[in-house]
Amino acid sequence: QVQLVESGGGLVQPGGSLRLSCAASGNILSINTMGWYRQAPGKERELVARMTSGGTTNYPDSVKGRFTISRGNAKNTVYLQMNSLKPEDTAVYYCNLVVIDTGGILRSKWGQGTQVTVSS
């Protein structure tokens, strides 16, 4: 099985920064894409950052220039650095990895979610 564990959420003032972490474990052969999504109350889940296995990244305009996705030195770890946070960034953040497991199966796995609250 493949499992993801997130950490790093919390309460931060507008203009502040947070870094989210997502560590994957289990029967992973390779990672196709890494991504971070968020879901605010009453809204649909939306993409905030994605990185392909080749290192190509993409961000929606709402976070471009403020959020950065990166892969850790521990190869199955992904980070989301969030700077210049705004109250509208408040949401539950989820990491998502599309992996090929050791059985050759393509799987999309989600973390448990971590709350980010931006408020003064």
Q: Residue 100: in which H helix or E strand, if any?
A: strand 91-101
- pLDDT the model gives residue 20: 98
User: Running DSSP on this structure, what letter comes out for residue 42?
Assistant: T
Tens of each residue's pLDDT in the chain, 120 residues: 889 999 999 999 999 999 999 999 999 998 999 999 999 999 999 999 999 999 999 999 999 999 999 998 777 899 999 999 999 999 999 999 999 999 999 999 999 999 999 999
Report the alpha-carbon distance of residue 82 to residue 37 in Å, rounded: 13
User: Long-range pairs for 56-63 at CB < 8 Å and ≥24 separation?
Assistant: 62/88, 63/89
DSSP string spanning 52-77? ETT--EE--TTTTTTEEEEE-SSTTE
